[in-house]
Structure 1
Amino acid sequence: MTGGAILRVVGGVLLVLALAGCTGSSLKLASASATTPYRGTAGEAATDPGNADYGVTPDPSMPITIATPRLDPNHTYSLPELINIAQLSNPATQAAWQRAREAAAATGIAEGAYLPIISADVLAGYAVTSNTAPGINTALVSVPDGTITTSGMQAVPSLAVKWLLFDFGARDAALATAQQVSFAANVGFNGTHQKLIYDVSNAYFQYSAARAQSRIDRAALDNARVVLEAAQARLDQGVATTMEVAQAKQQVAQAEFDLTGATGRERSTYAMLLGAMGVSPTITIKVQDISGKPLPRQVPDNLDQMIVASLQRRPDVQAAFAQMKASEQGIAAARAEFLPRIALTGTINRTIGSYSIHDTRFDSTASLDVNQPNAAVLLGVTVPIFDGGMRDARMEAAVAAASASQQDFARLQSTAAQEIVVAYDVLRTSLSANAAATELVNAARTNYEAALDYYKNGLGTLADISVTQTGLLKAQYAQAQARSDAFVAAATLAFATGTLTSANSF
């Protein structure tokens, strides 16, 4: 073995050892044990904090991008205005738009497969070649075997063109798949906006219901205080007992407790509204009340017709249908792998070099300059013969994926139809419940006012007031909840039928 060969072997061994050392040192990036907290930065060895604190070091370089839209503190925002703010602020819509753009770009990639690929390369460097030359043995000359060594600098600029002419539909299938995926992403983008409109509307109606319950509890507290004043007045007149006054004070305390819980729920639903909008939970925004908003219209009668029309326009169903068609194109692409491909290849290059040629037989050296152009145009046919069953496996996978997409599409239609029916029934029930609750409130208010007048005039008891007040409170709660449920059910039905398409849907 020559000295150069030995050096190459030693160098290779040292390189392998160095790579092995790097692999081992990379484990230093993790904690020393399963009970050792991690401290460190990306790419640096982990350190042991010396305690059981598993906190994470704050990263001041991390951007915090919670949306804080500029709002008018004196303006009361309606539901369409809140939806518009959400569509501008919520990152979900921006992410869906970028995914749609990504899918559109993938279509461009598939279209590019129909065009030739042109590439330019330049190879330059120092080259050495050695060839054994036979000796010369004659009666006059005897030259032993030797070596001809050619060395020098060379450059080879080249231009290559490759054009796939025919592939039995593989590119067509790839383009059709990309187009269907792009369509699915685009309708998914619209679906993201519809979901955002629904989420904001739902949170808005829940917040409105909580505000209504707070108003009811405030009115109940005022009523309890009126009863307490009446009980105190009767006690001062000697027609009531201290027990009645104590009971009236208990009702005031209970009303104050109920109001505290209601205001807490109001704050929680307000935070839910801000969360649905995708804005900072610390901003303050005035929200319009729905007390004067008319209830949704009655639901349509032909439920079957509504289901069919709804499924045909729902973004998620359309996206699933597009995915199913895309998966069917996968079968065509897998089938094309069994067939030949015809491509045209052309190359143009030039070899430029300056070489030194040394012949050991004569111990002579010569110089050679080369500037040689080359060109070729070739038509190639690639015929797959054997690949260990990979094409068969791809075909089976494509068929299975297409079948699964068909079943997913059918399942989604069934689920969507169920959602429509449930929302339809809930809306119909909520409208009926609201009508019944309105009658109940009117009757309960009449009973309470009559009981209060009787008690003030010394004809009734505090127990009568307590019963009628509780009945009025429950009826008002039921009315507020039924009204909110009707709006939520209408929003749910509109979302389920694919008609909740803009901020002005309500």
Structure 2
Amino acid sequence: MAAGFGALLLLAACSTSALNLAPASPTTPYRGTAGTPAANAVGADFAVTPDPSLPITIAAPKLDPAHNYGLSELINIAQLSNPATQAAWQRAREAAAATGIAEGAYLPILTADVLAGYAVTSTTAPGFDGVLVDIPNGSITTSGTQIMPSLAVKWLLFDFGERDAALATAQQLSFAANVGFNGAHQTLIHEVSIAYFQYSAARAQSRIDAAALDNAKVVLTAAEARVEQGVATTMEVAQATQVVAQAEFDLTLAQGRERSTYSALLGAMGISPATRIKVQDLGGKPLPRQVPADLEQLITTSLQRRPDVQAAFAQVKASEQGILAAEAGFLPKVALTGTVNRTFGSYSVTDSRFDSTATLDVSQPNAAVLLGISVPIFDGGMRDARLDAAKANAAASQQDFARLQGAAAQEIVVAYDVLRTSLSAYAAATALVNAAKVNNEAALDYYKNGLGTLADISVTQTGLLKAQYAQAQARSDAFVAAATLAFATGTLTSAQ
């Protein structure tokens, strides 16, 4: 009794001392390793100790440094390197394996067991009064070792559809994981495409700013020439110098945005941010000529092929099967069981009444085949709670499915409108750029010939720069909207 009480105290002490694994206070930095007491840290440095054993697995694919990679090639690299698609594949395999578990419930369960040990039993044996001798009360003690190998089989024959519902649920969830795998690839294609178009737009803006800097330098040269000719003042040169400095500043910012969008492209691909890769310019890739005409029909057909909508509908079907499984829990189950075993033992039997001992060796076979019916009667309301939970889950799945359809339709409409607006904006910006170029070239020629002013050139250059920015942004927006519309309609399905 004392030993047991001491063991309980020891366990309680171990439970209390486990708190020393945590920091000593809310303001005390943690130092230590897993499973060891936290060390007392000096100061308020909350740095984490580097772990050399931590595996770093950022993808760094082998690339051709001389090759310019186009969008389809970037997508192919991403599909091979990004952990998101690998994880989606493993989840699909996990869901497929779950159907195997559900199918296994239809088969008998066969188990083999071996029990071995030493046992001592003692029973009271009555004495009796004899004619010649009296036998006092005593005990019979049996001790010895035994081993009992056994083979058991249990086969559930009938359960009112509970296994059928479980299998149907697993199949629906496997389907949801499979289309989710395709959806993961579609999402990756979309993210890489968007990052590529944004990087292309940033590069275009860098080129615009570089050209603006060249133009500013031309104006500065012209101003310096006019001063030498005596037809301008040094104030014009100073103003032209300021414009050059502003153009250099704008170019620096544009190059920074270009580097940021390049890093975002590598991040979307799921490869190391230190990777150096040449990326093809969007160049003269033609824009879509027009958007689809029938928006209502586009929404209907798109929702029917979107992976997330199909996966949500599979979740609805799976939740409905959950109700059937919960209802089957109220009904009896019929099972067949069978056992085969043999007991091997060697025993010593001692009878204290006669002060005698005998040895007994046993080898006893046993076998049984039983048909059983299990009828649930009372379980504290657990079956009712399971059924209520299943019904609530099915209702929630229906609402989630409806919400997803509405959100998906909204995505399609927004992308549709943005694409239409971007195409119109690009057409307008193109006309504006053409007019601004003519105006700027004329103002520059006038200034070189002494007929215009520096303010005229500044206005026309600013107008040209804004028009070119607007054209580049509208072009990028159109490609982004086209990719987003393709993704929202479930047609962005390959690197091509």
Kindly indicate whether residue 203 of structure 2 is the aligned counterpart of residue 211 of structure 1. Answer: yes
Kindly indicate whether residue 334 of structure 2 is the aligned counterpart of residue 342 of structure 1. Answer: yes
Give the match for residue 233 of structure 1: 225
SS in 1 for 2:286: coil
Matches within 5 A, 1:129-168: 129-168=121-160
Distance 1:267 1:497 in 2: 31
Matches within 5 A, 1:249-268: 249-268=241-260
Kindly indicate whether residue 52 of structure 2 is the aligned counterpart of residue 74 of structure 1. Answer: no
SS in 1 for 2:167: helix
Give the match for residue 56 of structure 1: 48
Distance 1:141 1:422 in 2: 110
Kindly indicate whether residue 379 of structure 2 is the aligned counterpart of residue 381 of structure 1. Answer: no
Give the match for residue 493 of structure 2: 501
SS in 2 for 1:416: helix
Q: CA deviation at 1:25?
A: 2.1
Letter in 2 for 1:58: P
SS in 1 for 2:141: strand
SS in 2 for 1:290: coil
Kindly indicate whether residue 12 of structure 2 is the aligned counterpart of residue 20 of structure 1. Answer: yes
Give the match for residue 4 of structure 1: none
SS in 2 for 1:19: helix
Q: CA deviation at 1:49?
A: 1.7
Give percent identity, aligned residues only.
79
RMSD: 0.8
Give the match for residue 311 of structure 1: 303
Letter in 2 for 1:268: S
- Aligned with residue 429 of structure 1, among 400, 421, 428: 421
Distance 2:319 2:428 in 1: 52
Give the match for residue 415 of structure 1: 407
- Aligned with residue 263 of structure 2, among 250, 256, 271: 271
Give the match for residue 65 of structure 1: 57
Distance 1:349 1:322 in 2: 46
- Aligned with residue 384 of structure 2, among 359, 375, 392: 392
Letter in 2 for 1:427: L
Distance 2:368 2:133 in 1: 44
Deviations 1:108-155 (A, max 9, x none): 000000000000000011111111112212444422221111100100
Distance 2:13 2:135 in 1: 53
Identify which range, 17-26 or 199-208, moves more after superposition.
Answer: 17-26
Kindly indicate whether residue 328 of structure 2 is the aligned counterpart of residue 356 of structure 1. Answer: no
Deviations 1:159-185 (A, max 9, x none): 000000000001001101111111111
Deviations 1:61-100 (A, max 9, x none): 0011111110101000000000000011110110111111
Give the match for residue 30 of structure 1: 22
Distance 2:413 2:475 in 1: 20
Identify which range, 53-62 or 132-141, moves more after superposition.
Answer: 132-141
Q: CA deviation at 1:192?
A: 0.5
Give the match for residue 461 of structure 2: 469
Kindly indicate whether residue 362 of structure 2 is the aligned counterpart of residue 370 of structure 1. Answer: yes
Give the match for residue 183 of structure 1: 175
Kindly indicate whether residue 6 of structure 2 is the aligned counterpart of residue 11 of structure 1. Answer: no
Distance 1:440 1:141 in 2: 132
Give the match for residue 43 of structure 1: 35
Distance 2:446 2:251 in 1: 27
Letter in 1 for 2:152: A
Give the match for residue 277 of structure 2: 285
In structure 2, stretches of 5+ residues that fail to align are none
Distance 1:230 1:160 in 2: 101
SS in 1 for 2:371: strand
Distance 2:23 2:456 in 1: 70
